Amino acid sequence: MPSIKVGTENSADIELHYNDHGKGKPIVLVHGYPLDGNSWERQERALLANGYRCITYDRRGFGRSSQPSTGYDYDTFAADLKELLDHLGLDEDVVLAGFSMGTGEVTRYLGTYGSAGISKAVLIGSIPPYLLQTDDNPNGVPKDVFEGLKQAVVADRYAFFDAFLGNLYNTDASIPERLSEAALRASSQVAAGSGPYATYACIDTWLTDFRGDLPKIDIPVLAVHGTADRVLPFEVTTGRLRDERLIADLTVVTIAGGPHNVCWTHPDEVNSALLSFLGSEAGDRLATMAAAGVMATAGRT
């Protein structure tokens, strides 16, 4: 089981578990909450078949990585990602792809460390630009919503997971055609195995302000979002990235009726958008994606 050390807590090492499969152009896949790196299996299968090298890892506190009580902020998460890239010697033509919480790692990494060695980025079910409602961010979500989530975790985190996963997949609409009861149980098991402290602490990270990072992104970005997302609604996340022109070179793909985790429920649509974007050049990106049957819109260039 490959892992890297990214710090210590008291006498214990803090280690990240990762998998590194295939050969070719590398793509690093950063998972969402409360899942692990294996949640990318429906994308990894397609990427490997198309000649990409796939690197997945478990965020601290989740999956098979260490479960410390420290480091749950996006500066640390981005530093963990950099440690992994440096460890694997990934310094040329790398693609960073994040789902949900993972979009924060990708955004903060690019805002902090720049795009040297990174050719493209993918944001699926984005958290940026800024979820918290404030005087200068009136379109955000009131803070008491997030306080309620934290209280639910403290009261009974397993019951919280049941409700959260229901919205992650829109289970009332997705089962049985797009999500099986068995797959939902598997996600519940992964969530239950996450660190209790991490489960609670990560909710505060969702309030991170990424508006300072976004203008620094100088590579092409694909943003994919389900129109029926109940966790991170399109209008307050990816819709703002597009409409407020917060990323210079942005291509947006919406998936009609898709829930938050479209990676699982709509893999064909996600994979088509992903492979078309990865294989296209700047001048013909929209044409290439349209030819592949992907409906996309572009931001400013």
For every one of its 301 residues, what pLDDT tens digit does the chain have, with 9 covering 90 and above?
A: 799 999 999 999 999 999 999 999 999 999 999 999 999 999 999 999 999 999 999 999 999 999 999 999 999 999 999 999 999 999 999 999 999 999 999 999 999 999 999 999 999 999 999 999 999 999 899 999 999 999 999 999 999 999 999 999 999 999 999 999 999 999 999 999 999 999 999 999 999 999 999 999 999 999 999 999 999 999 999 999 999 999 999 999 999 999 999 999 999 999 999 999 999 775 566 655 655 566 667 664 3
Q: How far apart are CA 205 and CA 107, in angstroms?
A: 13
Distance CA 69, CA 201 (A): 9
Tokens representing 301 are: 């260039």
Q: Which residues are catalytic?
A: 100, 229, 260
Give this prediction's pTM: 0.94
Contacts of range 278-281, beta carbons closer than 8 Å, 24 or more positions apart: 278/25, 278/27, 278/52, 278/95, 278/120
Instruction: Give the ranges where the chain is alpha helix by DSSP (H).
Output: 41-49, 74-88, 101-113, 143-169, 171-174, 181-192, 196-205, 238-243, 262-265, 267-278, 285-291
CA-atom Rg of the chain in angstroms? 18
